[in-house]
């Protein structure tokens, strides 16, 4: 009788728990620090266009699981194999999964925490509660979440100004040409951008820049990235560096303890040590961790994939972007387009697409399959919209 304990009831923890249960495991305990049933985090920055609803519970069948919500694990006793909760309760485990996720990075220049941040349902309620039509908002950080929020606050009638420390939006993960399309779309709806900005400090309803200028706003939100939640792992003496270190099978430095999702830095067969911060990765690593906990020895090889929505535009990307690679562009009928990245041998490595709604989804999924197969792709073929990617896949098969 094996006891499985999972810490963290986000996407990764839930998927792992459900997969263990579906594999016939009878003793699966899921501990979640948040008080309410698990909800969809991406929806927090993408409220429903018609209803404004951003609280979407995750539809996972919890039957057959022991679910402990609203309680936090404060320690792991690796000698006796037990998790200690803040209530003093001890949960014995044979296999333990850490799916503790991440927390938003706080601005160093805002020790008092004047700027709001977005990670939890409560954060979203606080932000949208202050989003008055006609008011003004400053968003610090032009990353995916910051820009999604800029679009949503604009939609709610606010005047939004984005302050970014770097020279452009969407940093390293998104090709510059695609970031430009997204920024133009935001500008068209009135969002303004300042790049290479140094913020001196954040005060109540204002931001003071390094040059002394003060910008007032009704709402200040910081979206400057996340930090993996590693406290529990560090205090238990597990190897951690920018996340809980796991091998390609999601096993930590303790063979009975596994990690998955935003908190895990994995030795990925394709990319080496990498931590992914995306929704599908959390789902896939969660399901994979369940298999690993059951002793199945496969490596986690899934490619990173994500989507992000900005007004009527949808971005999707697969693989890891590297600006130094050769690229090819394919234009789609509805104004959308795709950007492919090839290595020196013409093997497809990454693809990103931007277009109305979900119009790039199908081709990005086909690109994912091409990358998985290590397919050779002539740049001319990738650029030719008359040549379906499915036909390239059939050639590669």
Partner 1 sequence: MGTWTRACATDDVELEDLLRFDHGGRSFLVIRSPEDEFFCIDGICTHERVHLADGLVMDGIIECPKHNAHFDYKTGEATRAPACINLKSWPVKVENGDVFVEI
Ligand X SMILES: Cc1cc2nc3c(=O)[nH]c(=O)nc-3n(C[C@H](O)[C@H](O)[C@H](O)COP(=O)(O)OP(=O)(O)OC[C@H]3O[C@@H](n4cnc5c(N)ncnc54)[C@H](O)[C@@H]3O)c2cc1C
- Count of residues interacting with ligand X (CB under 6 A): 36
- C-alpha to C-alpha distance for 134 and 353, rounded to whole angstroms: 33
Residue 18 touching partner 1 (CB under 8 A): yes
Per CB under 8 A, the list member of 172, 273, 326, 390 interacting with partner 1 is 390
Cβ nearer to ligand X, comparing 93 with 279: 279
Q: Does 31 bind ligand X (CB under 6 A)?
A: yes
Q: Kindly state whether residue 73 participates in binding ligand X, applying the rule CB under 6 A.
A: yes
Q: Applying CB under 6 A, which of residues 252, 278, 349, 359 lies at the interface with ligand X? A: 278
- Does 373 bind partner 1 (CB under 8 A)? Our answer is no
CA distance 367 to 375: 10
Q: Is 59 in the site for partner 1 (CB under 8 A)?
A: yes
CA angle 170, 171, 172 (to 5 degrees): 120
Quick one: which segment of 74-82, 133-141, 169-177, 352-360 binds partner 1 (CB under 8 A)?
A: 352-360
Choose which of 71, 205, 365, 373 interacts with partner 1 (CB under 8 A).
Answer: 365
The two tokens of residue 349 are 């490595």
| Residue of the chain from 262, 284, 363, 368 that contacts ligand X (CB under 6 A) | 262
Please report how close the Cβ of residue 387 comes to partner 1 at its closest, in angstroms: 14
Q: Does 33 bind ligand X (CB under 6 A)?
A: yes
Q: 167: how many CB neighbours lie within 10 A of its CB? A: 9
Q: Is 55 in the site for partner 1 (CB under 8 A)?
A: no
8 vs 141, beta carbon nearer ligand X: 8
- Choose the binding region for partner 1 from 56-64, 97-105, 238-246, 344-352 (rule: CB under 8 A): 56-64
Residues 104-163 that bind ligand X (CB under 6 A): 118-119, 145
Residue 9's binding partner out of ligand X, partner 1, none, with CB under 5 to 8 Å set by partner kind: ligand X
Q: Kindly write out the interface string for residues 242-261 of this chain, putting x where it contacts ligand X by CB under 6 A and - elsewhere.
A: -------------------x
Q: Tell me which residues in 220-239 interact with ligand X (CB under 6 A).
A: 229, 232
b (16+ CB within 10 A) / e for 350-377: bbbbbbeeebbeebbebbbbbbbeebeb
Q: Output the smallest distance, CB 145 to ligand X, in A.
A: 5
In the complex, minimum distance from the CB of residue 198 to ligand X, in angstroms, rounded to a whole number: 25
Q: Which of 223, 147, 140, 149 is nearest to 178 (CA)?
A: 147
Q: What order do you get walking across the sheet with 264-268 strand by strand?
A: 244-246, 264-268, 272-274
Q: Is 307 in the site for ligand X (CB under 6 A)?
A: yes
Partner whose footprint covers residue 366, from partner 1, ligand X, none (CB < 5 to 8 Å by kind)? partner 1
Pick one of 29, 45, 302, 349: the residue that binds ligand X (CB under 6 A). Answer: 45
Query: Is 120:201 a contact under the CB 8 Å cutoff?
Result: no
Nearest distance from C-beta of residue 50 to partner 1, angstroms: 10
84 binds partner 1 (CB under 8 A): no
Among 5, 17, 18, 99, contact with ligand X (rule: CB under 6 A): 99
- The correct pick among 358, 374, 378, 384 for binding partner 1 (CB under 8 A) is 358
Instruction: Return residues touching partner 1 (CB under 8 A).
Output: 15, 18, 56, 58-61, 279-280, 283, 305, 307, 357-359, 361-362, 365-366, 390
């Amino acid at each position: 009788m094996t006891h499985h304990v999972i810490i963290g009831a986000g996407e990764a923890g839930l998927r792992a728990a459900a997969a263990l249960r579906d594999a016939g495991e009878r003793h699966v305990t899921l501990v979640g620090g948040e008080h309410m049933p698990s909800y969809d985090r991406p929806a927090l920055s993408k409220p429903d266009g018609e209803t404004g609803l951003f609280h979407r519970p995750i539809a996972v069948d919890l039957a057959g699981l022991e679910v402990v919500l609203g309680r936090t694990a404060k320690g792991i006793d690796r000698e006796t194999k037990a998790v200690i909760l803040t209530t003093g309760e001890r949960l014995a485990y044979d296999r333990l999964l850490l799916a503790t996720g991440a927390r938003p990075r706080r601005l160093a220049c805002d020790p008092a925490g004047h700027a709001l941040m977005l990670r939890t349902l409560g954060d979203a309620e606080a932000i949208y509660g202050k989003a008055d039509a006609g008011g003004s908002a400053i968003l610090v950080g032009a990353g995916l979440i910051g820009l999604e929020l800029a679009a949503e606050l604009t939609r709610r009638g606010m005047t939004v100004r984005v302050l970014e420390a770097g020279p452009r939006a969407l940093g390293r993960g998104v090709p510059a040409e695609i970031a430009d399309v997204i920024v133009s779309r935001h500008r068209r709806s009135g969002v303004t951008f300042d790049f290479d900005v140094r913020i001196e400090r954040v005060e109540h309803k204002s931001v003071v820049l390094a040059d002394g200028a003060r910008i007032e706003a009704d709402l200040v939100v910081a979206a400057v990235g996340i930090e993996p939640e590693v406290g529990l792992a560090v205090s238990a003496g597990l190897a951690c560096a920018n996340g809980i270190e796991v091998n390609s099978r999601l096993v930590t430095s303790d063979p009975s303890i596994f990690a998955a999702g935003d908190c895990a830095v994995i030795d990925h067969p394709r990319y080496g040590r990498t931590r992914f911060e995306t929704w599908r990765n959390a789902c896939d690593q969660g399901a994979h961790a369940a298999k690993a906990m059951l002793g199945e020895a496969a490596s986690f090889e899934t490619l990173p994939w994500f989507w992000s929505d900005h007004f009527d535009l949808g971005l999707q990307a697969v693989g890891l972007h590297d600006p130094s690679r050769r690229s090819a562009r394919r234009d789609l009928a509805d104004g959308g387009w795709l950007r492919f990245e090839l290595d020196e041998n013409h093997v497809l490595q990454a693809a990103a697409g931007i277009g109305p709604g979900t119009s790039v989804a199908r081709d990005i999924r086909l690109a994912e399959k091409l990358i998985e197969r290590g397919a050779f792709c002539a740049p001319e073929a990738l650029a030719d919209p008359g040549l379906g990617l499915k036909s390239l896949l059939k050639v590669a098969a």
